[in-house]
Amino acid sequence: MTMGTTTTVRADESSSKPLFVTLPNKEKEEYVSTNIKSSGLEGKERKHFQFLISLCAALGGMQAGITLGWSSPILPYLTSKESFLPELSDDQISWISSLLALGAIVGAVPAGKIADRLGRKWAIILTAVPFTASWLTLALTGNVASIYAARFIGGIGAGAACVLVPVYVGEIAQASIRGALGAFFPLLFSSGIVFAYAVGAYCSYVVFNVACCAILLPFVLGASFMPESPMWLIQRGRKIQAARVLTILRGPHYDIAKEITVLQDDADRMVNANGGFKDLVGTKAGRRAVITCMGLMAFQQLCGVDAVLFYTVNIFQAADSTIDPFVAAIIVGITEVLITLFVAVVIDRFGRKPLLMISGVMMTACLGVLGYYFKLKDGGSDVSAFGWLPLTSLALFNVVFSIGYGSVPFAVISEIFPPETKGVASSMSIVVHWSLVFIVTKLFPTMEDKMGQAATFWTFSFFTITSVAFAYFVVPETKGKTLQEIQRKLERRH
């Protein structure tokens, strides 16, 4: 719709109404509501299309996962005698791993504003550009500088995807299944890591990078068929188009009039808000939401999960495991995918807080046992009879990480902020996330060298047990609540 004294809207082609009608501005709302009800758009909702659309968007998360998991199978090759590179120093190895995170910070910062200007759909599609540039650079060049550049550029796409996909999914989802739809992103993210582990272990360097680039095709094709976010359309005054999108997402027998009214109220409130940092922290609900998301992002990384993902093969090699390191890495990745799929089913049944607390307690146990294994090994004890323990500990660690801190933070980010600050808040959260990815992955080799592997894993376990208290005392339960109910809950005292 346009601003002015009259508005021209297209009527439902299947009805007997004129093709176009011209209405005074004061009758806009009345027309939309009447047109919706007379078209039969009320009754029971349809949810399967929301799952399909969320899956298409989450393919961007799969690219981010492939980019993240790339270094685990490739670093052993780059440091071997067969490598096309001269011998790499420990510092160069750590930069190859950690430059991804710096690129992700650069990609995350403007992602929210770009999505506000271009729309959620096209912003997600644009992430294919840095991903493509990264894979082609890796496949066609052969020196350390080009690998640095490619990892940084790939990180830009990964950081932007981590902001855009959860926001988009949160805006198209109904409250009753928002948690399940939000779990698609970490599910596809984990699937991307498994893809990198499996293909990178058994394909040549060039073939591996070409295969990673080829996976972009289904992402771009799927994303091109996604509808635009109804919230974004309402903000742009395109209410009839938003109604059509909601009809696609909810089904032809769902009463979308009430949802249109709620979205319009949000859009009207956003007219007086800049959506910047001042609006974000200017209310009690905003401040509590920021603390919650910053804490979740921090504990998600301080458990050391990405250090484990980046150096999975190296960890198994250092542990002298009786299982092939590449096979063990693939097993670890597959268990994470399966459990993330399980979380997608149960997250709207059990709630966010219980899953976070279970995850924190179990991660502490896994890291403590792994640290004790390395203490015995480094102390000269014979651990050959326990060669299965590193795989068991890391596989279980990934399982319990996926149950809570691997999936829940992204779901919470998508639902805890009001529309006017969701863009900047998501960008801030992802910047914290990737900043800690950089710090942890850059320092992990140094920590192992200076502190020893046992102390390193015990340090991570300290943060995981602390995360349990954070989840219990700070994180609000958002299961089954609408975005408006969540904001009212954040405004109240405990």
Q: Is the pLDDT of residue 467 over 90?
A: yes
Q: 394, 323 in Cβ contact below 8 A?
A: no
Q: Whose CA is closest to 96, among 158, 156, 151?
A: 151
Question: What pTM did the predictor assign?
Answer: 0.70
- CA–CA separation, 138 vs 479, rounded Å? 42
396 phi/psi in degrees, rounded to 5: -65, -35
Give residue-wise pLDDT tens across range 175-186: 778 777 877 888
Mean pLDDT of 344-348: 69
User: Burial, 85: exposed, middle or buried (Cβ in 10 Å; 0-12, 13-18, 19+)?
Assistant: middle
Q: For the ranges 148-157, 322-331, 348-357, which has the lowest average pLDDT?
A: 322-331
The pLDDT tens digits for 189-241 are 889 988 998 998 889 999 999 999 999 999 999 999 999 999 889 988 888 89
- Per-residue pLDDT tens for 26-77? 444 444 444 434 333 334 456 788 889 999 999 999 999 999 889 888 888 8
User: How would residue 362 be classed by pLDDT, with cut points 50, 70 and 90?
Assistant: very high
Check whether 109 has a pLDDT greater than 50: yes
**What is the C-alpha separation between 229 and 310, in angstroms, rounded?**
34
**CATH of span 48-229+272-491:** 1.20.1250.20
Average pLDDT, the chain: 80
Q: Is the pLDDT of residue 442 over 70?
A: yes
- Sorted by where each begins, the domain ranges of the chain are 48-229+272-491
d(CA 403, CA 457): 20
Query: Mean pLDDT over residues 438-453, rounded?
Result: 84
Asked which of 114-118, 263-267, 463-467 is least confident by mean pLDDT, the reply is: 263-267
